[in-house]
């Protein structure tokens, strides 16, 4: 066997398309929202100058950890993903990457992420990063095929990044982090309930247990949306009440909250895929706009 052929067998070929597949495994759009919420937690406890270097360390470590969690999640869900229309074209179901390649990639970047948080920030932030990783791949992912409660458990995982931002800035946990944790938690529930309703047939094919599959009329889903959006509204007001945001934020929180309620009311009246999509669209407008107001207040005032 020639040296050239031996090299090809030992070392994987990193073509542009393969690199693109690796990036796809990290779910860049979802990862960007995770990073944004992490920044939110970082700037909240700071009233003056934002320290850039710790923020960059935080973003680097969180990006690697979050990307690793997403990769390992897809490694674990290769079979159900192959059965669903919305996920069957992902790199693993299509065979563009092997399971071993995905597993190795996920483990390496996860370790790199936790190590970055530990060496550049503090033990508490690294521990929260590890908790986020473990809860995502060992709690939320398996529960998706066992119980509809997976959405509520997954919400805890999704609400931890701003807490990581807080501990990166302060080096400790404080009770004042609770409103932003609650905001992220209660935002996720109507957001994912809408997704589950839009793709309920797909989730059934994949064997995932979602509230929408046990709710033929949509009434239970709509009530859960309304209930959790009410708690979201309270959490958003609490951020202003404890002095973390200005009247500009309060105005935005009220208007956005009322808009969220309005579209969910439409879904309550008619539980259609179209109205579920409206809830989803408003949810992806709500959080970035509200978060941007908070971040801009820290930089402009």
Question: Is pLDDT above 80 for 50?
Answer: no
From 138, 173, 208, the end of a domain falls on 173
| 256 is a domain residue | yes
From 132, 157, 173, the end of a domain falls on 173
8 Å CB contact between 139 and 76: no
129 three-class SS? helix
42 and 183 inside one domain: no
Mean model confidence pLDDT for the chain: 91
Give CA–CA dist 193/202, Å, rounded. Answer: 14
Six-digit token string for 51: 């320290």
CATH number at residue 96: 1.10.357.140
| 1 is a domain residue | no
Give CA–CA dist 84/238, Å, rounded. Answer: 40
169 and 156 inside one domain: yes
253 and 148 inside one domain: no
**Region 69-85 average pLDDT:** 94
Domain that holds residue 151: 18-173
| 5 is a domain residue | no
239 and 200 inside one domain: yes
Position 5 confidence tier, pLDDT thresholds 50, 70, 90: very low
Question: Is pLDDT above 70 for 57?
Answer: yes
168 and 181 inside one domain: no
Give CA–CA dist 253/233, Å, rounded. Answer: 8
Question: Is pLDDT above 50 for 283?
Answer: yes
114 three-class SS? helix
- Residues 171-179: contacts with CB under 8 Å, at least 24 apart: 171/122, 171/124, 172/124, 173/124, 174/45, 176/44, 176/45, 176/242, 176/244, 177/41, 177/44, 177/45, 178/238, 179/235, 179/238, 179/239, 179/242, 179/244
165 and 182 inside one domain: no
Six-digit token string for 37: 């919420």
293 and 185 inside one domain: yes
8 Å CB contact between 68 and 133: yes
Q: What is the pTM of this model?
A: 0.90
Q: Is 215 left (phi over 0), alpha (psi -120 to 50) or beta?
A: beta
139 and 178 inside one domain: no
Give CA–CA dist 188/193, Å, rounded. Answer: 8
Percent of the chain with pLDDT over 90: 81
The pLDDT of residue 9 is 44
**Region 274-288 average pLDDT:** 95
| 294 is a domain residue | yes
Total domains present in the chain: 2
From 120, 148, 173, the end of a domain falls on 173
186 and 67 inside one domain: no
| 7 is a domain residue | no
Task: Give the Cβ contact number of residue 8 at 10 Å.
Answer: 11
155 and 209 inside one domain: no
| 36 is a domain residue | yes
H or E stretch including 43? Answer: helix 28-43
Question: Is pLDDT above 90 for 301?
Answer: no
């Amino acid at each position: 066997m020639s040296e050239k052929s031996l090299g090809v067998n030992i070392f994987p070929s990193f073509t542009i398309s393969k690199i693109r597949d690796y990036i796809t495994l990290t779910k860049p759009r979802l990862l960007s929202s995770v990073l944004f919420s992490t920044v939110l937690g970082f700037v909240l406890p700071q009233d003056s100058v934002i320290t850039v270097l710790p923020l960059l360390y935080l973003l680097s470590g969180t990006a690697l950890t979050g990307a690793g969690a997403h990769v390992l999640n897809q490694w674990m869900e290769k079979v159900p993903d192959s059965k669903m229309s919305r996920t069957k074209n992902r790199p693993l179901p299509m065979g563009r990457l092997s399971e071993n390649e995905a597993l190795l990639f996920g483990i390496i970047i996860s370790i790199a992420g936790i190590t970055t948080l530990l060496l550049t920030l503090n033990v508490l932030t690294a521990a929260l990063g590890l908790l986020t990783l473990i809860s995502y791949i060992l709690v939320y992912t398996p529960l998706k095929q066992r119980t509809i409660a997976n959405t509520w458990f997954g919400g805890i995982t999704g609400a931890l990044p701003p807490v990581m931002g807080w501990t990166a800035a302060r080096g400790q946990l404080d009770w004042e982090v609770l409103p932003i944790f609650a905001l992220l938690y209660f935002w996720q529930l109507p957001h994912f309930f809408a997704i589950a309703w839009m793709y309920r047939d797909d989730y059934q094919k994949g064997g995932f247990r979602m509230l929408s599959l046990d709710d033929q009329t949509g009434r239970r889903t709509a009530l859960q949306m309304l209930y959790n959006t009410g708690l979201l509204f309270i959490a958003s007001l609490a951020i202003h009440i404890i002095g973390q945001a200005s009247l500009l934020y309060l105005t935005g929180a009220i208007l956005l909250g009322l808009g969220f309620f309005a579209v969910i009311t439409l879904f309550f009246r008619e539980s259609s895929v179209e109205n579920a999509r409206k809830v989803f669209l408003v949810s992806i407008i709500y959080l970035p706009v509200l978060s941007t107001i908070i971040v801009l207040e820290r930089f402009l005032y």
